[in-house]
Amino acid sequence: MTSKNSCNEFQKSVNKVLIQHRSILDVLTKFQESNSRVNRAIAKAVTQCGCIKINAKKQNIPSHTNLSDVTKFTHNHLEGQLCENCKEIIETELGAHLFYTTALCNMLNLTLDNVIKKEEERISTLGFYNLT
């Protein structure tokens, strides 16, 4: 199955099973809630499980650095790897978030594949200047 077909099939599946929350207001609030659940699952991986650690500090990028070399001086501030349990929980929460993203696409007559494609084109076109 191609990526486009996967997006289209997922979007059709979401449309079939979204019964209770058909109002745009319901979907918007569930979308926001699912985002919070993703954040909470990652926080729990740090604070309760400890499989990952956040070691955040200022990103020191030398002033003479070319834009194309910036990634050599930046870090994601994560140490460790997700354990299988945390990985499963975070994947589940990200899946729910994707579900509500797709539900919003359905309600607004957008296709998830086109949203992804346009974002890919935007970041490809803007390249390093995609600093939003």
Question: pLDDT by residue (tens digit) across 47-65?
Answer: 999 999 999 999 998 989 8
Q: What is the pTM of this model?
A: 0.84
Give the containing element (helix H, strand E) for 78.
Answer: strand 78-80
What pLDDT does 1 receive? 47
Considering the segment(s) 3-129 as one domain, its CATH architecture is Orthogonal Bundle (1.10)
pLDDT digits (tens, 9 = 90+) for 68-82: 888 888 899 999 999
Indicate the domain borders of the chain.
3-129
Q: Are 34 and 41 in contact (CB under 8 A)?
A: no
112 CB-near residues (< 8 Å, 6+ apart): 7, 8, 10, 11, 101, 102, 105
